Amino acid sequence: GAGVSQSPSNKVTEKGKDVELRCDPISGHTALYWYRQSLGQGLEFLIYFQGNSAPDKSGLPSDRFSAERTGGSVSTLTIQRTQQEDSAVYLCASSSRVGGEQFFGPGTRLTVL
């Protein structure tokens, strides 16, 4: 596709349930980032993938959060046992190289009831 796509666009879940958020980066982009945008915390970095290197997980807020990137392309962010404070917009970005411009997807709005 022409840009970064994310699915679903909106997700409503109940507290305690697990959710999976998907990101399709721009074809050929080797770097992929996840960010979270919430009212209280603004935009925060979560995790970064670069090629086949081990991901940089330094921004993940708890061990309930995990992410994987299969085949160097699609990425899935998983939140286990969701809490109300997990409600936010989750943004994915990709870049053709480290330090290059990051192109953002439209985000997934997660609401935990």
93 binds another protein (CB under 8 A): yes
* Torsion from C-alpha of 74, 29, 4, 15, nearest 10 degrees: 40
- CB 96 to another protein: min, Å: 12
- CB 60 to another protein: min, Å: 12
14 binds another protein (CB under 8 A): no
Q: What is the largest CA-CA distance in the chain?
A: 38
SS3 state of residue 86: helix
Whether a cis peptide bond, with omega within 30° of 0, leads into 106 is no
- Give the residue carrying structure tokens 């996840």: 34
Binds another protein by CB under 8 A, chosen from 7, 50, 76, 96: 50
Q: Contact residues for another protein (CB under 8 A)?
A: 4, 31, 33, 35, 42-45, 48, 50, 56, 59, 91, 93, 95, 98-99, 101-107
